[in-house]
Amino acid sequence: MKEHDEDVITNAVSGSAVRRTRSQAEPDWSVTESLILVNEVAAVEADCSVALSSYQQWNIIAENCAALDVPRSLPQCRRKWRALLNDYDGARGERRALPPGFEREVFEAVERVVRAREERGLVDPESDDEEDGNDEHDATVEIGSKRKRQRSKSRHQVQKPKKFHEQRPDDSHEEGPEDDDNSEDEYLKDFLESRPKLKGTAERPPKHLVMPPKSLGEVELNENYHQIERPKPIGTERITISREENEETLSLKLQELAVEIEAIASESAADYKGGGSQNLEDSYDFTRGQGDKLIVSLGNFFNTLKCLCDTPQECK
C-alpha cells in the first residue's frame, strides 16, 4: 500500500511539473517575426509614446503583429521585447559579442529603437520593478489601482461632511443654557423686525383683483383685507323706465310715419289734378311710384303699432 501511494504521488508531481512547463513555454520567434516586433515597437513609440499608456501601446503592437501574420499575445510580445533588450545590453556591455540566436539585423533594429528613446529623452517604459510572471495582469492592476484611488477619494470627500455634522451636536451640547437663551432672544428680535415687512407685503392686493373704477361697485375697507362687492342687480324700477322710454320712441315713430303718409297722399293728389290729359303715361308712372311708397310707409306704420301694443320682449 505504501509503495502504491508513493507511485501515485510521484506521478501526480511529475504530471503537474509537465503541465507547468508546457504552460510557460514560449513560442519560437523567427528573425522576420522579431524584426516585425521591433519595427512595430519603434512605430508605436514614435507616434503614441506621450498620448497613450504602456498597456495601450502594447495592445496596439500586438494587434499590428497579428495583422502581419505574427500571432502573438500581448504578454508574449512584451517578454520577447525584454529578451531582445537584455541580449542587446549584453552585446554592448562586457561580452561585446552577439549571443547565440541574436542576429545582426535584429541587433541593429533594437539599437535604432534605443537611440530614438535617448533622443526623445524617454526612459525605458519596461521598468525593472515589474516581474515577468505578472505580465498578463498589468492591465487589471493598473485599472484596479485607479479605481481604488478614485473610490477612496470619493469616500473621503463624502465622509468629511458627516464628521462635520457629527461634531456640531457635541458642540451644541457643550454650550450652556445661557447660550440657548441668547439664541432665543436673537430669534425673537429678528422675527419682530421682519414682521412689519411681511405685513406690508401682505396688504398689497393681488393683481387679478385690480379692476377699473367703472366696473367696481361699493368697496368697504376692513381691518384685515379688502372686500369687493359686486354691483347690485337691476331692479324693477329700471325695467319700468326702459318700458316707458320704448313706448315714447314708438309713439314718435308713429307720428313721423303718419306725416310721411299724409305727404305722399297729398303730393300724388296735387300731381293728378295738375297733370291733365296731355301726358297720361307719366302721370300713371308717378302715381304707381307714390303708391309703392305709400304701401311701404303703411307697412312700417302697422309694424310699429304692433310693437307698441305687444310686450317689449316680443318687440325685440
Secondary structure in 3-state letters for the chain: CHHHHHHHHHHHHHHHHHHHHHHCCCCCCCHHHHHHHHHHHHHHHHHHCCCCCHHHHHHHHHHHHHHCCCCCCHHHHHHHHHHHHHHHHHHHCCCCCCCCCCCHHHHHHHHHHHHHHHHHCCCCCCCCCCCHHHHHHHHHHHHHHHHHHHHHHHHHHHHHHHHHHHHHHHHHHHCCHHHHHHHHHHHHHHHHHHHHHHHHHHCCCCHHHCCCCCCCCCEEECCCCEEECCCCCCCHHHHHHHHHHHHHHHHHHHHHHHHHHHHHHHHHHHHHHHHCCCCHHHHHHHHHHHHHHHHHHHHHHHHHHHHHHCCHHHHC
**Which pLDDT score, from 0 to 100, does residue 67 have?**
95
Distances (CA, A) of 308 to 195, 246, 253, 262: 67, 8, 10, 21
- Residue-range domain boundaries for the chain: 2-130, 141-174, 238-315
pTM of the model: 0.36
Confidence (pLDDT) at 17: 39
What stretches in the chain show pLDDT beneath 50?
1-23, 128-143, 145, 156, 158-177, 197-202, 205, 207-210, 212-229, 232, 235-236, 315-316
Give me the pLDDT at residue 125, please.
Answer: 59
Residue 180's pLDDT is 55
